[in-house]
Copies of this chain bind each other. A is one copy, B any other.
Amino acid sequence: MRLLVIEDNDELAGLLAQGLRTAGYESDRFSSVEDARIALSTVSYAALILDLGLPDGDGLDVLRELRRRSDSIPVILLTARGGLDDRVSGLKLGADDYLVKPFALEELLARIEAQLRRPGQLLGASLKVANLSFDTRERRCLIDDTPQPLSVRETTVLEHLMRSKGRVVSKRQLEDSIFGLSEDVGSNAIEVYVHRLRKQLSEKGSKAQIHTIRGVGYLISEDQ
């Protein structure tokens, strides 16, 4: 699950990146309104963490644009102490929550989780395909209710497929969810991950299968 962090303070951004990663989120971080726009229009993020005091413009403009085009991505604002006006206008414009600096990393994580748990959002009950299930809270895979060890990449791919149960996921989408904008992929990495994941799952007795839809992408479903 990939989050977008817009924050111009390098130190804070570093801490956030680390904390988010430990909590199992991947993130891209940019420090300007301009980059935020580009990122949002390129990759599909699970949530946006938006600092309001940016050098090249008003973060609220980003929020306003998102909502104008009916993008309901959860947005959590970071505001400096006392920026009451910002908070109020932020919430009016459709922000979902806000935190006043300084804040506890754990609190941010709790707020993110709360947002992702909203109906239609990304954290919820466990996803299930045949005897394979994925616990979105703990971010782990279970076969017949036994937890299975998977690498970080394998877990990410599986999560994406399970969230899109019944729909085809393109290779491009998988690339975006794994690498975001930060890195390039110059290889068949996704194919390799899918291969490794298939191997793990079949070795461990999963009855769910990852099908290839040639020219389109991958699809997870029960057997056959």
Contact = CB atoms under 8 A, between A and B. Distances in A.
Interface of A: 18-19, 22, 24, 37-38, 40-42, 44, 69, 102-107, 138, 149, 151-152, 167-168, 170, 172, 213-217
Copies of this protein, total: 2
Q: Which of A19, A22, A170 has the most CB of B within 10 A?
A: A22
Contacts of A172: 18-19, 22
Given A41-B107, A151-B214, 19 more contacts: A18-B172, A19-B172, A22-B170, A22-B172, A22-B216, A22-B217, A38-B102, A40-B104, A41-B102, A41-B103, A41-B104, A41-B105, A42-B104, A42-B105, A44-B106, A69-B107, A138-B167, A149-B213, A152-B215
24 contacts: A18-B172, A19-B172, A22-B170, A22-B172, A22-B216, A22-B217, A24-B216, A37-B102, A38-B102, A40-B104, A41-B102, A41-B103, A41-B104, A41-B105, A41-B107, A42-B104, A42-B105, A44-B106, A69-B107, A138-B167, A138-B168, A149-B213, A151-B214, A152-B215
